[in-house]
Structure 1
Amino acid sequence: MIGSKILATGHYVPEDIVTNDDLAKVVDTSDEWIVAHTGIKSRRVSLRGENTSDLATKAAEIALERAGVAADELGFIIVTTFTPDGLAPSTAALVQRNLGAKNAWGFDLSTACAGFVFGLSTADKFIKSGAYQYGLVIAAEVNSKMMDFSDRTSTVFFGDGAGAAIIAPSEEGVIAAEEMHTVGDERVVHSGRIAPLEKLAANNYPKIDAFAQEGRAVYNEVTTKIPDHIVTFLAKEGLTVDDIDYFVLHQANLKMIEKVAETLGQPMTKFVTNVQEYGNASSAGIAMAFDQLNSQVDLTGKKVLLTGFGAGFTYGSLLLTI
């Protein structure tokens, strides 16, 4: 049976670093408060005109070079984002153009911060079909353009960035198992909602809302559901948390990741984190953290668990046996 493996990864972040002190100049907050509540010290913000497709393209170029794969060898491109350049054309279509990937089709996938996990899962099925030699999965977000900078409960968390992975067929397979869930709920986290018309008028123009979240509700939801999800999922595969070498969770909040680690009884040395320097980059956080791990550690023979969770409430895990 054909499986799928990750050939190479890459990530890209905007040049501009916004520290907590920088943020305190435009929103009512402080470095002390942000670090104490989130563990975040800085974030990358797109302030030079780079949109989501631009970040995605640059991350993809790095991954393609590392994989030794030419853009015109790609069969498909999946971009996971909930901050697209626009509703149409898809961000994936713009990346396809930018890369010159003339033989690839593409589409966007939106499961908020869980996007990279769902994107890899989707790509895995296309590769296993036997119809494609190479696929590209990119998680890219420009969260800053969706922020209400008067809302300190949301603004202090988020950063911009992109991570990419080249996926290809493998006899053994690297993506060993998965489990996904969705619980429809638009109250806790929402972004970019467009209200329907109430009447015809010459001045009708689409308006979208900024990102908003109920921070405490998000924390409680994640720290209760996610540890149970991880334990249950691994048990189905005959594993326990002790069998996992590295956990790569959505980089929502360092305090949240620490709480999940504590609940699972696992040391933080097994949890890959970049939220301290990159902030919450939504779906891109896992992709960037996995690339950092993949670049720094020989993962041969290791078990890595990718777990994403985001608005929806959508969450899921992929078990990688490398």
Structure 2
Amino acid sequence: MPVYSKLIATGQYVPDRVVTNDELAAIMDTNDAWIQSHTGIKTRHYAMGEENTSDLATQVAQQLLAKSGVAASDIDLIIVTTITPDGLTPATACLVQANIGADNAFAFDMSAACAGFTFGLATADKFIRSGQYQHVMVISAEANSKMMDFQDRTAAVFFGDGAGGALLQATTNPDENSILAEKLQTQGNATVIHSGRVQPITAVAGTNYPKTDAFYQAGRDVFQFATTVVPKQMQGLLATAEIKPVDLQYVICHQANLRIIETIAASLQLPMTMFPHNVETFGNTSSAGVAMALASVFDDLTGPVLLTAFGGGLAYGSIVIKK
């Protein structure tokens, strides 16, 4: 008997610390008017002190359990998508597993940059369809602030910290299937976006110590990619799934930049009212942005939703879901 994936709960969380454009303008050459005109961003939230990526993800995991009524012991798999893990090992997902007491689960991290949530949902769906797993958490969590160069105004003003996620449950009822269609793609490119590159050693020496680089993006290249290549993927997926854009209830794009979302809406000839967005108050939360925007409208869903995200890799993925 075929098994399908049903979305049963979503959640989102941001740290308490709010950082305004004026606060950033005090430490770099920029200003509130420039940031808002070019990005639409007014504020963002930063994890501070001891709060790290696993803590943001744990907050979402606890929400998913509370909202669904599923016990932690019934979770089979936890996938955390992130490019700002607590560390290279153990996986941030394993830390979340320990924090919520999901002793019967296994857990791993996935790195697909800002496309992480769509890649994570598609992966979770395959595990559930195998028939071996009943409950899978997909949590996208980012503490982008810890990877920023605060002298680089082309990147630092964009990003904020946050987490969002969804809980999927196995069902044999095809009418309850939440994952309707998907398309995941990558273009191998290490120059347009990169972060946390670990430098190799140059000699065997006692002074060697691991070093990583800060986040970097080529803004114009990212904008061009997001507004030309990505809409073609979106349109192709909808055509394959035989879904007209006007039949969608929402289109939820990666919350990179309000101007990018506006351009994508225009290319699809759809009104901005169909595009939930949180980038103005949360900034670009990388892989968490789509998950957080989905959580904000999940209770009101009555029709199909197109989720689209894009980021370093270059990775980009679109997935059509319903409640």
TM-score by length of 1: 0.98
Q: 2:64 maps to which residue? A: 63
Q: 2:265 maps to which residue? A: 261
* Amino acid paired to 2:212: I
- Unpaired runs of 5+ in structure 1? none
Q: 1:212 maps to which residue? A: 216
Q: 1:22 maps to which residue? A: 23
String of CA shifts for 1:76-128, please: whole Å, max 9, x gaps. Answer: 10000000000000000100000111000000000000001000110001111
Q: Secondary structure at the match of 1:144?
A: helix
Q: How does 1:221-236 map to 2 (within 5 A)?
A: 221-236=225-240
Q: 2:33 maps to which residue? A: 32
Moved over 3 A (4+): none
Instruction: Confirm whether residue 198 of structure 1 aligns to residue 185 of structure 2.
Output: no
Q: Secondary structure at the match of 2:229?
A: helix
Q: 1:243 maps to which residue? A: 247
Q: Secondary structure at the match of 1:259?
A: helix
Q: What is the aligned counterpart of 1:183 among 184, 187, 201?
A: 187
String of CA shifts for 1:170-202, please: whole Å, max 9, x gaps. Answer: 222110111110000011000000122221111
Q: State the 1:165 CA deviation.
A: 0.9
Distance 1:258 1:5 in 2: 30
* Amino acid paired to 2:44: R
Q: State the 1:215 CA deviation.
A: 0.4
Q: 1:139 maps to which residue? A: 140
Q: State the 1:321 CA deviation.
A: 2.7
Q: State the 1:217 CA deviation.
A: 0.7
Distance 2:229 2:276 in 1: 20
Distance 1:116 1:231 in 2: 19
Q: State the 1:66 CA deviation.
A: 0.3
String of CA shifts for 1:241-267, please: whole Å, max 9, x gaps. Answer: 122110011000001000100111100
Q: State the 1:48 CA deviation.
A: 3.3
Distance 1:133 1:44 in 2: 34
Q: State the 1:25 CA deviation.
A: 1.3
Percent of aligned positions that are identical: 53
Instruction: Confirm whether residue 270 of structure 1 aligns to residue 270 of structure 2.
Output: no
Q: Secondary structure at the match of 1:262?
A: helix
- Unpaired runs of 5+ in structure 2? none
Distance 2:243 2:14 in 1: 35
Q: 1:282 maps to which residue? A: 286
Q: State the 1:164 CA deviation.
A: 1.6
String of CA shifts for 1:182-232, please: whole Å, max 9, x gaps. Answer: 000011000000122221111111100000011011001110111111111
Q: 1:86 maps to which residue? A: 87
Distance 2:51 2:181 in 1: 35
Q: 2:97 maps to which residue? A: 96
Q: State the 1:240 CA deviation.
A: 2.3
Q: What is the aligned counterpart of 1:292 among 293, 296, 300?
A: 296
Instruction: Confirm whether residue 166 of structure 1 aligns to residue 167 of structure 2.
Output: yes
Alignment length, in residue pairs? 319
Q: State the 1:169 CA deviation.
A: 1.0
String of CA shifts for 1:130-163, please: whole Å, max 9, x gaps. Answer: 1111111100000000000000000000000001
Distance 1:62 1:308 in 2: 23
